[in-house]
Chain A
Amino acid sequence: MAMDPTSIIAVASIVTAGLTTTFGTMAPALGEGKAVATALQSLAQQPDASPTITRTLFVGLAMVESTAIYCFVVSMILIFANPFWTHVIAQSAGK
Chain B
Amino acid sequence: MRLSPDEAIPWPNTLPKLNATILCTWALMLVLIVGSWLITRRLSRGLKRSRWQNLLEIIITGIEQQIEEVGLRQPRRYLPFLGTLFLFIAAASLATMIPGYEPPTGSLSTTTALSLCVLVAVPFFGITGQGVGSYMSSYVKPTFIMLPFNIISEISRTLALAVRLFGNMMSGGMIIAILLTITPFFFPVIMTAMGLLTGIVQAYIFSILAGVYIAAATTASKPKAETAVAA
Where the two chains meet, the residues of A that have a C-beta atom closer than 8 Å to any C-beta of B are 51-52, 55, 58-59, 62, 65-66, 69-70, 72-73, 76-77, 80-81
Q: State the 9 A-B residue pairs at the shortest beta-carbon distance, nearest first.
A: A69-B167, A62-B205, A66-B164, A73-B167, A81-B3, A72-B171, A80-B3, A66-B160, A69-B164
Is residue B209 contacting chain A, with contact meaning CB distance below 8 A? yes
Residue B163 is within 8 A (CB to CB) of chain A in the complex: yes
Task: Report the minimal beta-carbon distance from A28 to chain B, rounded to whole angstroms.
Answer: 12
Which chain A residue shows the least CB distance to B166? A73
6 new A-B contacts at CB < 8 Å, known A76-B3, A76-B170, A77-B3: A55-B208, A62-B164, A65-B168, A72-B171, A73-B170, A80-B2
User: Which of A58, A59, A62, A76 meets B174, CB within 8 Å?
Assistant: A76
Is B1 an interface position by the 8 A CB rule? yes
- B residues engaging A (CB < 8 A)? 1-3, 66, 69, 160, 163-164, 166-168, 170-171, 174, 201-202, 204-205, 208-209, 212
**A59–B205 touching, CB < 8 Å:** yes
**Smallest distance from the beta carbon of B203 to chain A beta carbons, Å?**
11
Main secondary structure of the interface of B (DSSP, over half): helix
Contacts of A81 in B (CB 8 A): 3
Q: Whole-angstrom distance between the alpha carbons of A70 and B204 in the complex?
A: 20
Of A55, A69, A77, A80, which is within 8 A of B69 by CB? A55
Instruction: Report the Cα distance A49→B69, complex, angstroms.
Output: 13
Min CB distance B199 to A, Å, is: 13
A59 to B209, Cβ gap below 8 A? yes
Q: Is A66 a contact partner of B167 (Cβ separation < 8 A)?
A: yes
User: Assuming the A-B contacts A62-B164, A80-B3, are A69 and B171 also in contact, with contact meaning beta carbons closer than 8 angstroms in the complex?
Assistant: yes
Give the residue name and chain of the B residue nearest to A71 (CB): B167
Residue pair B163, A70 in contact (C-beta under 8 Å): yes
A66–B206 alpha-carbon span in the complex (Å)? 12
Q: List 22 A-B contacts (CB under 8 A).
A: A55-B208, A58-B205, A59-B208, A59-B212, A62-B209, A65-B164, A65-B168, A66-B163, A66-B167, A69-B163, A69-B168, A69-B171, A72-B171, A73-B166, A73-B170, A76-B3, A76-B170, A76-B174, A77-B3, A80-B2, A80-B3, A81-B3
* Chain B residues, CB < 8 A from A51: 69
